[in-house]
Structure 1
Amino acid sequence: MLQFINDMPVHVVGIHAVGKVTREDIDTVLIPHLNNMVEQHGEINYLLVLETDIKNFTAGALWQDIKIGLKHFTKWNKIAVVTDQKGVEQFSNWFRILIPGKSRGFPLERLDEAIKWIARR
């Protein structure tokens, strides 16, 4: 399930992933907020708190996630992925060479630091 994090700065989309994540979650939670961020700010600053295993994302969810990422490819400013999954955190650090913006992984214990980093302009 994806949940919108309400108490983020206005220029940051915060999403919390727990349990099973489906295409419907991507369509109803993530996509509207990313589209709105592009409309309002012209760029995306995205915080993902990943407290579920990446294996809990359905194929449809992963496909929708890829599609929205490509749709807004030039709009990604910053991505912070907060997780205790070392592989995902490391991928987030390397992902920065594939996107025009910055990407960084953080362990869950450093969530506050991730929020400060993603919020900094």
Structure 2
Amino acid sequence: MLEHMDYLPRHVLGMHAVGSVTNKDYENALHPLLSEQVKQNGRINFLLVLETNIQNFTAGAWCGNIEIGLKYFLRWNKLAIVTDQKSFREFSHLFKYILPGKYKGYPLEELDQAVKWITEK
């Protein structure tokens, strides 16, 4: 499930992934929020807190992830991934070679630092 972290500043979209994450989560929770983020700010500052095993993402969710990356290709400004899954944090660093913008990975214990970085203008 993807839960909106609605306490962040308006120029930042935050999502918290827990349990199973499906393509419907992307369609119902993430797509509308990303669209609104682009309308309001023109750019996307995205914080993903991943407190579920990456294996809990269905194949459809992975496809949705790729689709979102491409749909908003030139809109990415900052992306912070917060997870204790070191391999996923390291994988997220590959985004800097594929998508424009800045990317950082943080362990869960550094969530405050991730929020600070992603909210800086």
1:46 aligned counterpart, secondary structure: strand
Match of 2:113 in 1: 113
Structure 2 residue identity aligned to 1:19: G
Aligned counterpart, 1:37:
37
Structure 1 unmatched runs, 5+: none
Superposed displacement of residue 12, structure 1: 0.3
Task: Give the Cα separation in 1 of the matches to 2:101 and 2:87.
Answer: 20
Contact 1:26/1:64 (CA < 8 Å) preserved in 2?
yes
SS at match of 1:97: helix
Structure 1 outlier segments of 4+, above 4 Å = none
Alpha-carbon RMSD across the aligned residues, in angstroms, is: 0.8
**C-alpha separation between the residues in 1 aligned to 2:67 and 2:93?**
21
Q: Structure 1-normalised TM-score?
A: 0.97
For residues 63-118 of structure 1, what are the alpha-carbon distances to aligned partners after superposition, in whole Å with 9 as ceiling and x for unaligned?
Answer: 11111110000000000000000001112223212211001000000000000000
Alignment correspondent of 1:71: 71
The runs of 5 or more residues in structure 2 that have no matched partner are none
Q: What CA distance in whole angstroms lies between the structure 2 residues aligned with 1:24 and 1:92? A: 22
**Aligned counterparts of 1:89 and 1:22: Cα–Cα separation in 2:** 20
Who is 1:96 aligned against? 96
Matches of residues 25-64 of structure 1 in structure 2 within 5 Å?
25-64=25-64
Q: Which amino acid aligns with 2:4?
A: F
The aligned length equals: 121
CA distance in 1 between partners of 2:95 and 2:69 (Å): 12
SS in 1 for 2:94: helix
Provide the residue aligned with 1:5 in structure 2: 5
Letter aligned with residue 18 of structure 1: V
| Range that drifts further, 86-95 or 66-75 | 86-95
Match of 1:20 in 2: 20
1:26-81 C-alpha deviation (Å, 9 max, x unpaired): 11111111111011110000000000111101111111111111000000000000
What percentage of residue pairs aligned between the two structures are identical?
54
